[in-house]
Amino acid sequence: MWTQIVGKTRMTLAPPLNHWWHVALHVSPRGLTTGPIVHRIGIVEIEFDFLRHELRVDAGGNGLRTRPLRAESVASFYDAFTDLLGALDCAAAISTKPQEVPDPVPFEADHANSSYDPAAAHDFWRILVSTRAVFERFRSHFIGKCSPAHFFWGSFDLACTRFSGRPAPPRKGVISGPAYSHEVASHGFWPGGMGIDSPAFYAYSPPPPPGLDQAAVRPAAAHWHTGLGEFILMYDDLRAAPDPAGALYEFIESTYVAGATLGNWDRAALEI
């Protein structure tokens, strides 16, 4: 919920970018950051620092403020963060209803969730750092449109998405409509949910071409998850591999090739 509060602030202050890219957070040397946000006072950057375990709001000439990341309720964090932005003259009015979660409780009313585990936050960030390195290597071999490796706070996943260049069948929804307006091959990491009870890497190609669920992909531990309609590689299986980074690259490359080939992408024009 804390990343949703900060992410919604970026979404409010930043100009809209295609496929909702303006809402995402980015992996930084210390944690997760909004990156520089152009504001009437100049440039603002908000960062979760998972080394010092503090929230940093840098408003340039207007000042720098920090606040410890500690066990407190969502409501307490929201109130303190709002006050901090106001003190730096960069207040932002956001929707306080959480996104993409069941039974959402407005931030200012959420007093139930009040935990913070510094070790878990640090470990999660370390996974994002190592995953991003592989995603950026994968991204470098594609000359078509491709997203950064960025973190979506609604679904809580680090994702990198390639585009075929062709429009996709229209989808309904404020988020899914713009996000999937074109054919994509998307890869990501997320800590679990939707029937997956532990961390996993995923790969999907909406709209899925016929036969994708039968495609051979690597490494051997990767498999098609019928319930999710996508390929899955469990994080624990990757950790057990002799070369985890190499195994992850195999996963994203083989699943991309399967989707792009079956989907008749113009690979010769898109890859180097």
Q: How far is CA 247 from CA 126, 210, 229, 234, 238, in A?
A: 17, 26, 21, 11, 7
Mean per-residue pLDDT over the chain, rounded: 96
The Cα 6–Cα 42 span in angstroms is 18
pLDDT over 80 at 194, yes or no: no
- Does residue 12 sit in the same domain as residue 104? yes
Name the phi and psi angles at 46, rounded to 5. -120, 130
Last residue of a domain, one of 84, 109, 134: 109
Question: Do 138 and 185 belong to one domain?
Answer: yes
User: What does the pLDDT look like over 8-50, one tens digit per residue?
Assistant: 999 999 999 999 999 999 999 999 999 999 888 789 999 999 9
Q: 262 and 177, same structural domain?
A: yes
Query: Residue 122: what pLDDT?
Result: 98
Query: Which of the listed residues 109, 133, 154 is the one where a domain comes to its end?
Result: 109
Please check whether residues 99 and 155 belong to one and the same domain.
no
- pLDDT higher than 80, residue 272: yes
Q: Provide the residue range defining the domain that includes 28.
A: 2-109
Number of domains into which the chain is organized: 2
Q: Which residues pair with 179 in a beta bridge?
A: none
Q: Clarify whether residues 129 and 105 are in a common domain.
A: no
Clarify whether residues 223 and 258 are in a common domain.
Answer: yes
Is residue 104 domain-shared with residue 77, that is, in the same domain?
yes
Same domain, 258 and 162: yes
Quick one: 78 and 146 in the same domain? no
User: Do residues 193 and 260 share a domain?
Assistant: yes
Q: What is the mean pLDDT of residues 160-179?
A: 93
Give the global pTM: 0.95
| Percentage of residues in the chain having pLDDT higher than 90 | 93
